[in-house]
Copies of this chain bind each other. A is one copy, B any other.
Amino acid sequence: MPDIRHDPLSDRWVIIAEDRAKRPQDFTAVRSARTERPCPFCEGHERSTPEEVLAIRPEGSPPQGPGWSVRVVPNKYPVLQAADGDAPATGGQLFASRPATGIHEVIIESPRHVTRTTELTDDELREVILAYRHRLRAARRSKNIVYGLIFKNVGPRAGATIEHLHSQFVGLSLLPSQTQQEVRNAKAYYEAQRQCIFCRMIEEEFRSDVRVVARSNQFVAYCPYASFSPYETWITPREHCGAFDELSDQQATELAGMLRKLLRQMDHILDRPAYNYLLQSSPFDSCADGSYHWRVAVLPRITTLAGFEWATGCCINPIAPEEATRQLKFATFS
């Protein structure tokens, strides 16, 4: 089983997952995201993956076979593995480690071999979003899982190794340090101001209106003031909501429309960039106080982290979010 090690200097954890790659020669070049045929995620190749834990398929259609529109399977090369109990850390202060337990799933977003979200219809993306909600709800009921994260890697520069459109779900038995920090800061703000820091930011974004890319009845898309990467855009509910899995069916429709439109705008102005998106929802056991607010953060990966960023944690962003907003807002495409 992979293990999670703690760095006592940065307080960050690293997952040592040797099964992900045995030999150094796997890494000597940027790997192509093009998988060899047959693609294990295409309809008709259901036996190439572990057995599905969820599939959106017509009533009566048999599991592990064709006919599905979205399919969720355990990751074949998981960085986290299921375990009965929660193992404590060992190794003391300097060499703390624990087994990397948790859930690691792949959400296959289409039976067709599509490679970008923009190739889905709004309805298809809506089904993907409903699958996200389903997996988060299931993880919330799991023993020892304290946090659920959905993320997506598109293109080799964003860390994808299989090009067939998919997202990943991880359910963690440990709150990652970066999430801990965010939760801590959001709580401190809430305690001082009696208001959710995200709600307050959204108010200010509407007031200044220089970083708002799009708005709908229930959602807003904006480039955050301290965007770590160029064209970073957050989609978040306008009304306070901490847990993504409280999303209504109607909200799923609206979110799909806004997310797909944003990705089309990015494809247009950045010529189909590699990107990640992250669905960051409140941890399961905390934030009932109303201090956290879920978001989808979309990050085109068009710059490279260099030595400065590694050493300091401080990013360099060559496109001001106000400029990114202007470009995204006025992107026109047929």
Chain B: minimal CB distance from A105 (Å): 13
| Interfacial chain B residues near A11, Cβ < 8 Å | 181, 185
| Distance between Cα atoms of A329 and B99 in the complex (Å) | 27
Chain B: minimal CB distance from A181 (Å): 6
- Assess whether B227 is in contact with A310, with CB atoms less than 8 Å apart: no
| Distance between Cα atoms of A276 and B307 in the complex (Å) | 5
Whether A149 touches B311, Cβ cut-off 8 Å, given contacts A94-B201, A185-B9, A303-B27, is yes
Residue interface bits A169-204, CB-to-B below 8 A is 1, else 0: 010100011110110011001000000010011001
Chain B: minimal CB distance from A157 (Å): 7
Count this chain's copies in the assembly: 2
| Interfacial chain B residues near A152, Cβ < 8 Å | 307
| Interfacial chain B residues near A79, Cβ < 8 Å | 308, 316
- Assess whether B316 is in contact with A14, with CB atoms less than 8 Å apart: yes
- Assess whether B185 is in contact with A94, with CB atoms less than 8 Å apart: no
Whether A317 touches B17, Cβ cut-off 8 Å, given contacts A9-B197, A307-B153, A310-B299, is yes
Q: How many residues of A contact B (CB 8 A)?
A: 91
- Assess whether B277 is in contact with A95, with CB atoms less than 8 Å apart: no
- Assess whether B153 is in contact with A306, with CB atoms less than 8 Å apart: yes
10 contacts between A and B (CB under 8 A): A8-B189, A11-B181, A11-B185, A12-B314, A159-B306, A177-B312, A179-B311, A179-B312, A278-B307, A297-B311
Given contacts A176-B311, A278-B307, 15 further A-B contacts (CB under 8 A): A7-B226, A19-B318, A24-B270, A27-B270, A27-B303, A28-B270, A28-B271, A93-B189, A94-B200, A95-B204, A151-B310, A151-B311, A160-B306, A172-B312, A178-B311
